[in-house]
């Protein structure tokens, strides 16, 4: 019987919901299920400036030096959105320009390009540098990815304390994968004093944000009385939510509790 779901979420696959460009994760790791928010989310913050822009309009505005358009153009070239043919070289060019003009999203995306080796030579150290710059400006996903690099010792020396720090900052912004990883650090006592109570708190937050593995782990904690009194009703509730999200282990647990 599986007591706790796989230890960690790792990086978002940012370029496509169905990307075949990335190897499957190992059994003890998990790629974040929610794909990277392509420009449409960030661009909506500036919709008054660019009402339903065409690709030609975006390119024109990018060439005029507007960093939001530069970022948008780079992401379209990177992901093939809006009918644009993928061109990693041009994507890197425009994201670099957007970065130089202060775009935090561009810093994050350049970090992902270096981490995954997409359009550039894979370089965890350069990815670390880009994530660090974006994380310092409160970019939640960069903070999360920086935590992963510290946890894994990629691009920098392994440091569970730093991993805890950056997961905490991303989690406090309400980023669900960071909430999940923070709970795991508390559960294992990595970089912080072990605390089932804190693990329960952060698994609850992630579970409420529909992270099915957090729902499963939270159910196990209620079932076993870890960090909380045993509560079969709440255990079944969270197993059911995980099962509804397609978690096979949760479905098996519900059968065993009938």
Structure tokens at 163: 């991993």
Structure tokens at 181: 């990883």
- pLDDT, residue 8, reads 53
Q: Contact, 116 vs 122, CB < 8 A?
A: yes
- pLDDT, residue 82, reads 83
22-36: per-residue pLDDT in tens? 222 233 333 232 333
**pLDDT level of residue 83 (50, 70, 90 thresholds):** confident
- pLDDT, residue 127, reads 96
Please state which CATH number belongs to domain 10-177+188-194: 1.25.40.10
112-152: per-residue pLDDT in tens? 999 999 999 999 999 999 999 999 999 999 999 999 999 99
Residue 29, φ and ψ in degrees, nearest 5: -130, 165
Domain ranges of the chain: 10-177+188-194
The Cα diameter of the chain in Å comes to: 65
**C-alpha angle 100-101-104 in degrees, rounded to nearest 5:** 85
Please, how many CA atoms are within 13 Å of residue 75, restricted to the half-sphere of its CB? 27
d(CA 9, CA 180): 8
pLDDT > 70: percent of the chain? 80
| pTM for the model | 0.80
């Amino acid at each position: 019987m599986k007591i706790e779901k796989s230890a960690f979420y790792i990086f978002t696959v940012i370029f496509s919901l169905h990307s075949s460009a990335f190897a499957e994760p190992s059994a003890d790791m998990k790629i974040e299920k929610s794909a990277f928010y392509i420009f449409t989310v960030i661009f909506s913050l500036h919709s008054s400036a660019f009402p339903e822009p065409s690709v030609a309009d975006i390119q024109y505005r990018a060439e005029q030096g507007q960093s939001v358009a530069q970022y948008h153009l780079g992401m379209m070239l990177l992901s093939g959105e809006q009918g644009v043919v993928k061109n990693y070289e041009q994507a890197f060019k425009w994201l670099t320009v957007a970065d130089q003009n202060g775009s935090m999203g561009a810093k994050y995306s350049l970090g992902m390009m270096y981490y995954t080796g997409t359009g550039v030579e894979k370089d965890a150290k350069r990815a670390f540098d880009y994530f660090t710059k974006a994380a310092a400006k409160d970019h939640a996903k960069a903070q999360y990815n920086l935590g992963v690099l510290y946890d894994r010792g990629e691009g920098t020396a392994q440091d569970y304390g730093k991993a805890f720090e950056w997961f905490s900052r991303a989690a406090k912004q309400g980023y669900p994968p960071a909430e999940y990883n923070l709970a795991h650090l508390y559960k294992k006592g990595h970089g912080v004093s072990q605390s089932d109570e804190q693990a329960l708190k952060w698994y609850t937050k992630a579970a409420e944000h529909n992270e099915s593995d957090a729902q499963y782990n939270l159910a196990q904690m209620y079932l076993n009385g870890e960090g909380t009194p045993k509560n079969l009703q709440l255990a079944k509730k969270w197993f059911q939510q995980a099962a509804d999200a397609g978690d096979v282990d949760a479905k098996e647990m519900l059968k065993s509790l009938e």
